Structure 1
Amino acid sequence: MGMTRPLVVITRPLAQAQELAQRTQLLGRSVALFPLLDILPLPDPAPLRAALRELERYALLAFVSPNAIDAALSVQPDWPVSVPLAVVGEGSRAALARHGLTADRYTIHSPRNRDRTDSETLLEELDLPALAGKDVLIIRGETGRELLGDALRNAGVRVTTVAAYRRQAPALTPAKRAELQHLLHGQNDWVVTSSEALRFWMQMVEQLDDAEGVAKMQQQRLIVPHVRIAEIAHSFGFSKIIQSRSGDDGLLAALQSLS
């Protein structure tokens, strides 16, 4: 009999994990869902609703994540085709497509370098001189990087930033604590698609009644879609890190290449 392949642990929020889990199972891999982020609605959606009532005054609408797209489109399902859109990754392009916002009808800017998709590479695709003096709306979570907004402001763009959702660490319930301890007991492949999720994971492990918990975590193999997540993982002591291309196709290709 052959050796049992490692379990694939998908750490995305549950709403985003299902399709990747199904496609991973089609590769013949066993999957566990262990969300390291909860995505929650805003306590007060009024600022988001107000911003979305004025979409046509913006020269560009930028989304920082699929969560931003899903949250905004649930509030305002009709988007003007005349206003260009900007996203930072393949997952966000797929989220736009689920809502009917596709490149055959909308102008969609996104990084062309699929090995690195982030605010830095998105900025390379934007015509910053043409945006100077104009209004851009950035739709994001309550917290996150300021690089995109700061770079646009430095280029003379009038930037409005509005939150569409909030992120938080899942509660470490007794059941989740037991599941985490069980997963750390073996050697598994963990798909981690967020730097914040990686930090929350470390915080969870540090709360376990296990003196070797952090060491066990550092021995897990990570599949991450971005160099920044890989860098943070290295700083946390991980050594088995596979960096994939952006998007689910990139993650699946990386998983398929592993023995």
Structure 2
Amino acid sequence: MKRSVGQILGKTGIRIPLILWTIAVLYPIFWMFLGSFKSNAEIYRNPWGFPETFNWQNFADAWTNYNIDTSVFNSLIVTVVGAVLTLVLAIPTAYAIERLNFRGSKFLFTLYVSGMMIPMVLGWIPLFFLLMEFNLLDNIFGLAIVYAVSQLPFTIFVLTSFMSTIPKSLEESAAIDGLSPYGVLWKIITPLSMSGIITVTIMNAIQFWNEYFMALIFLQTEENYTLALAIDYISSEAQYTNAWGTLFASLVIAIIPVIILYAIFQRRIAKGMTEGAIKG
């Protein structure tokens, strides 16, 4: 009995802080959802209560009056292009570093890993002038290239840990059957590393979708704004126009794709992170 009581108290002592932390994290999000359906009068009169009527006009205003539709499209392009380009560059690089064992492969891997320790802020000014030189400043595809390069060290680090445990006998058998090194990479190594690829793709996509500072520096015209910049613009306008409901609606529009993406691939992400930690 004493042991069972002690176990119950121990579990309770762990669960209570977790429950409190969950409430502290989820309540502001819940409050934001409620605010997106309120009029300005309701927000000022009863900021913490439920809306009297669910007002969808805030979403319409955010979508049309503040060009959230264009910003969502820009963010989608930047996210997809950046995530795909990251994989195109990272998968062959990780395979070459991990499996080909050429001279300098360990040094190259160390160089990439050390890139994870360097803050991106140190490269913002050189990147600004570099993009200007190649006429990619204020260009969403130029921003996507910067995003892809910024996530290369992390992506390569994760993928090499997955590829390291794939039996080399599979590659040898494929080579005997006449498969080229490129065929081995794309037909054997890549499918067997799919858990890691899905994990880094989702994490990179969420990073690109939410990124703000590099978009603020490298994008200059409103028609090229990503969603983060558009929301920042609405936030500054709300101080003078009282468009708080529109701001909440734009925030809801921004987080819904992330929530859906994580809900769909939650098990894949957990599985990929666990396998990566064990294999690494």
Q: TM-score range by the shorter chain?
A: under 0.3
Q: Which has the larger radius of gyration?
A: 2
The two structures have a TM-score, normalised by structure 2, of 0.22
Whose strand proportion is higher, 1 or 2? 1
Choose between structure 1 and 2: higher helix proportion. 2
Q: Which has the higher contact order (CA 8 A, sep 6+)?
A: 2
Q: TM-score, normalised by structure 1?
A: 0.24
